[in-house]
Amino acid sequence: MNSIDASHFISFEGIDFSGKSTQISLLKEFLEENHYTVYFLREPGDTEISEKIRQILLDKNHHCMNEWAEIFLYSAARVQLVAERIIPLLKEGQIVIADRYVDSTTAYQGYGRQLDLDVVKTINQAATFGLLPGITFYLELTPDELFKRMNNADRTADRLETAGIEFFKRVFNGYKQIANLNKQRFCVIDAVQSIESIHQKIVKEVSKRIGL
């Protein structure tokens, strides 16, 4: 995927409740105020086919879903999104923000579900044509902080959120390792700071890297 310039491709990562949606909407607002058009995509979803796959993945009745079926479904949704939306937008020079991308699969299916990491890497490569974001903001929230936030919010737990603290500890540790292996691309932010202070850090980094 050498021909695609991914410098305008920004992904957000972090466990549920880490503040991704909050920060994405603030960043989108900031960029739009500065006259940029921003394309926000959510994973899994944002194409007709990917949204149908999303419904299967998030269906609470599917607790018997095999973990390999799960990774292939996430990856099928992703490859459709990359081919149909992300690559054409980047070719036009647009700014693309993704709420979760390939690192989520490594963290959740690789580390969380403990699938073979080499196989996960191969699947991820195939599901993205090797296309990685220019910047990945990782909002780091410890599992303890996650459960605190979850208890304070009146949001129901989806299938992944019902997996328990041990699962989230593995995911947390997985994200740490992914961040260490991708220091250039990753911008790690402590998610326990105020919303405004996180936003300012993100704006500073985006401005620096995209040259706004």
What gap in Å lies between CA 119 and CA 76, rounded to an integer? 15
What gap in Å lies between CA 31 and CA 159, rounded to an integer? 33
Size, binding site for ligand ADP by CB under 6 A: 15
75-104: string of b/e by CB count within 10 Å (b at 16+)? bbbbbbbbeebbbebbeeeebbbbbbbbbb
Binding-site member from 7, 21, 142, 177 for ligand ADP (CB under 6 A): 21
DSSP-based three-state secondary structure for 42 = strand
From the CB of 23, what's the least distance to ligand ADP, in Å? 7
- The residue type found at 94 is Q
Helix (H) or strand (E) holding 72: helix 67-81
Q: Find the part of the chain contacting Mg ion (CB under 5 A) among 20-28, 125-133, 136-144, 200-208.
A: 20-28
Contacts for 32 with CB less than 8 Å, ≥ 6 apart: 38
Q: Does residue 143 belong to the site contacting ligand ADP (CB under 6 A)?
A: no
Provide the residue count of the chain.
212
Q: Does residue 19 belong to the site contacting ligand ADP (CB under 6 A)?
A: yes
Binding-site member from 11, 14, 111, 146 for ligand ADP (CB under 6 A): 14
Q: How far is CA 154 from CA 16, 26, 177, in A?
A: 13, 22, 31
195's contact among Mg ion, ligand ADP, none, with CB below 5 to 8 A by partner kind, is ligand ADP
Q: Does residue 103 belong to the site contacting ligand ADP (CB under 6 A)?
A: no
Q: Does residue 137 belong to the site contacting ligand ADP (CB under 6 A)?
A: no
What gap in Å lies between CA 86 and CA 132, rounded to an integer? 11
Q: Does residue 142 belong to the site contacting Mg ion (CB under 5 A)?
A: no
Q: Find the part of the chain contacting ligand ADP (CB under 6 A) among 9-17, 47-55, 120-128, 166-174.
A: 9-17
Please identify, using beta-carbon distances, which residue of 70 and 99 lies nearer to Mg ion: 99
Other beta carbons within 10 angstroms of residue 106's beta carbon come to 24
Q: Does residue 22 belong to the site contacting Mg ion (CB under 5 A)?
A: no
Please identify, using beta-carbon distances, which residue of 18 and 50 lies nearer to ligand ADP: 18
Other beta carbons within 10 angstroms of residue 211's beta carbon come to 7
With contact defined as beta carbons under 8 Å apart, do 119 and 29 qualify?
no
Q: Does residue 21 belong to the site contacting Mg ion (CB under 5 A)?
A: yes
Q: Does residue 200 belong to the site contacting Mg ion (CB under 5 A)?
A: no
Residue ranges binding Mg ion (CB under 5 A) = 20-21
Residues that bind ligand ADP (CB under 6 A): 14, 16-22, 149, 153, 191, 193-195, 198
